[in-house]
Amino acid sequence: MSEPFAVALRFSTAVAVFLALAAWEARRPRRRDGPPRRRRWPANLGLAAVDIGLLRLLPWLAPLAAAEWAAAHGWGVLPWLGVGGPAAALLTLVALDGALWLQHRALHAWAPLWRLHQVHHADPALDVSSGLRFHPLEILLSAAYKSGWVLVLGAGPAVVLLFEALLNLASLFTHANVVLPPRCDRRLRRLLVTPDMHRIHHSQRPDETDSNFGFFLSVWDRLFGTYRARARRLQSRIAIGLARWPDQRQNSALLALLAMPWRAPGRDRGRLL
Ligand SMILES: [Zn+2]
């Protein structure tokens, strides 16, 4: 498969999954409260467009470029150990997912990174568009971080493309305003992150925000003691977002979201931190 074709396939799959989840949300939403789509989607989708545009401008930063360089130079732990084929692919997928869990913990734990990541958490409602709402600096840092891991591992380009595609789709799914049948949710959670599990991470309660950091596999949270099966409130009543960013104008305009890491909320509006 040629690279442009693979990239086009990844993009069109993401669009198709976005539309399918959006239709599911419209038909059977998990929650009906919160600001309507028309107030949140322009900024959330605008951020996604900025992120995609920036990554197109800086292709050398992308994990795919790192994988191609590693493959061309025989670089990385997996080739050095002689691990190839399906075993290398599986190890790469699991290791990169674990690396992202660690990155997510750092985004919450370290104040300068939290300033960027709060843009994602300040969304006052959760739906499929929240899965695209990330500050461009967080996206660039994450691309560099993932590229570093790809170089260390010596991950192959095809597996990296697959991981990036899975990551996008998992982000859309886990933020979606949908509910799975309880038994299905329970079974799926043994291995994967579900929307109900990730919604707890978007609670305004700090102890709930600092749980369920996983993107795709649920195993990391179980392994490191950050798994939370239930929120204190019912799923339909979890207060979503960040209490410090209640102002609609500050929290729903594209330029305001781009500036959010350097601005003070609420009555301090307009003042730089
Ligand atoms: Zn988070």
pLDDT (average), residues 189-216 = 94
pLDDT at 265 (0 to 100): 65
In a domain, 92, yes or no: yes
In a domain, 131, yes or no: yes
pLDDT at 269 (0 to 100): 44
In a domain, 221, yes or no: yes
In a domain, 271, yes or no: no
In a domain, 172, yes or no: yes
Residues 6 or more apart whose Cβ sits within 8 Å of residue 6: 158, 161
In a domain, 270, yes or no: no
In a domain, 219, yes or no: yes
Q: How far is the CA of 264 from the centre of ligand 1 (A)?
A: 20
CA dist 33 to 108, 237, 261, Å?
A: 26, 9, 27
**Residue 162 structural domain:** 3-264
pLDDT at 268 (0 to 100): 42
CB 198 within 8 A of CB 231: no
Q: How far is the CA of 78 from the centre of ligand 1 (A)?
A: 30
Give tens-digit pLDDT for 57-82: 998 889 999 999 999 998 999 999 98
In a domain, 272, yes or no: no
pLDDT at 224 (0 to 100): 96
Q: How far is the CA of 5 from the centre of ligand 1 (A)?
A: 32
Intra-chain end-to-end CA distance of the chain, in Å: 48
Q: Is the pLDDT of residue 266 over 60?
A: no
- Provide the number of structural domains found in the chain: 1
pLDDT at 271 (0 to 100): 41
Q: How far is the CA of 133 from the centre of ligand 1 (A)?
A: 11
Q: How far is the CA of 1 from the centre of ligand 1 (A)?
A: 34
**Is the full-model pTM beyond 0.85?**
yes
